[in-house]
Homo-oligomer: A and B are copies of this chain.
């Protein structure tokens, strides 16, 4: 596993921590909210991912002797460095679960810790959760259109350097079946698979020799890449020959792979040729610049493709470079805190909070979350502050609290799940979401409201700041 130290942070976190350390704020406790402001891909939902990696990393986070030496050269002071030597994250975290559907402008996770501890983990929190949530959401969109097709992550070579490591994990949470990424396979237990490269075919004097060598060495999983020279004139006829040779040895060719040209046309022609040769069981895999839109189009054209290998557009979340997740102070030193802004939607929500997902009695999402203070057990009425004022009586609905304790005093308090379990959980959550939120164009907006108590507390703080600014 790639090792991340406490140095994986922004310089200002340490600069601020040193000021806190030297001030009376050294032991002040704070609450920070993690949330994002815009859904990626102009979609209707996001799939939360990255939590377990984040928790594991911060539960073991520390500064090494060489880290401290470096920080000393950077001018940090002796007593602060002495403090960092024993630094551990000892705070509490409440969070949505990995695989939960999440929406803008409501807390996905809350950190409760000393100001110093909460700042030092900010960068790694944003870095891991923003990215995995982006990729799990992309993967989920691809799964939505792909039906039962097998989806494989082929993206490592085009990933943003080591980002490929976590991208493969997040893709599984969003609904992929496997990856080509061997280290992710090893570390996260993801099924790994792959076929052959064009160079393999080229390195033999003839395509048929390349296919034959590969088939002899393969067990159950032989996939032949048919487009090195000419898919329909050479690749498919040679693959058919090899499939027959394999049959004579009691083996079966798993699939052929198309990696260029018009995938819809080539898949149909290839299917016809394979079927005419009696090879109905040989599957068709396709790759080359795929994303949710291309796959949707291919399947609408009834291209007989069984396996999609998705690369760049999956692991980089193209066209969205990043989820715009932020980490905002909502409470410190015993007082609620707020940040105001020229833009009303950027005003933060003070206090320790809970997010309730409003559902019908049979468990369907009604398209609204309500935010209250953490100790509010139920919310009676919900206010929408970010749109023309309206309110909604909630007493006929179920209210599911989304933020659950996942870390107490720096120790993980939830059972860790396998990736398959998280992916299944996410599928269940997605099934509760009405289809209007899943469409790609102008999806329905998942509403947000706040409780009367939170509303009052917030108004009070805003009035107070405005008074001081006059």
Task: Please report A residues at the B interface, Cβ cutoff 8 Å.
Answer: 2-5, 7-16, 18-20, 22-23, 25, 28, 30, 32, 66-67, 70-71, 74-75, 115, 119, 122-123, 126-128, 130-132, 154, 156-167, 180-183, 185-186, 192-200, 202-206, 213-214, 217-219, 228-230, 233-234, 260-261, 312-313, 316-319, 321-324, 327-329, 332-333, 335, 337-342, 346, 465, 468-469
Q: How many copies does the complex hold?
A: 2
Q: How far is the CA of A28 from the CA of B342 in the complex (A)?
A: 66
List residues of chain B with CB within 8 A of the CB of A123: 156-157
Residue of B nearest to A204 (CB): B25
- Additional 20 contacts, C-beta under 8 A, given A15-B218, A127-B157, A128-B161: A2-B3, A11-B182, A11-B185, A12-B196, A16-B214, A19-B217, A25-B203, A32-B199, A122-B197, A127-B158, A130-B158, A159-B163, A160-B321, A161-B163, A161-B166, A199-B329, A202-B332, A206-B468, A230-B469, A316-B321
Are A194 and B7 interface neighbours, CB within 8 A? no
**Cβ contacts under 8 Å, A5 to chain B:** 183
For A18, the chain B residues whose CB sits under 8 A away are 217
Knowing A195-B12, A321-B313, the reply to whether A161 touches B162 (Cβ < 8 A) is yes
Q: Is the CB of A324 within 8 A of B16?
A: no
Q: Is A166 a contact partner of B157 (Cβ separation < 8 A)?
A: no
CA A342 to CA B265, docked complex, whole Å: 14
Report whether B202 and A337 are in contact in the complex, using a CB–CB cutoff of 8 Å. yes
**Which residues of chain B are within 8 angstroms of A167 by Cβ–Cβ distance?**
160-161
Q: Nearest chain B CB to A306's CB is how many angstroms away?
A: 18
Collect the chain B residues with CB atoms within 8 Å of residue A25's CB.
203-204
The one of B70, B194, B329, B341 that contacts A260, using a Cβ cutoff of 8 Å: B341
- A355–B172 Cα distance when bound, in Å, is 42
Contacts of A160 in B (CB 8 A): 131, 159-161, 163, 167, 316-317, 321-322
With A180-B11, A341-B260 as contacts: A158 and B203 at CB distance below 8 Å: no
Interface hub of A166, A200, A228, A340 (most chain B Cβ within 10 A): A200
A445 to B327, CA, bound (A): 44
A18 CA / B12 CA spacing, docked (Å): 49
Contact assessment for B193 and A11 in the assembled complex, using a CB-CB cutoff below 8 Å: yes
Known contacts A162-B166, A186-B67, A321-B317; decide if A198 and B14 are in contact (CB<8 Å): no
Q: Give complex CA distance A156, B174 in Å.
A: 24
The residue of chain B having its C-beta at the shortest distance from the C-beta of A179 within the complex is: B11
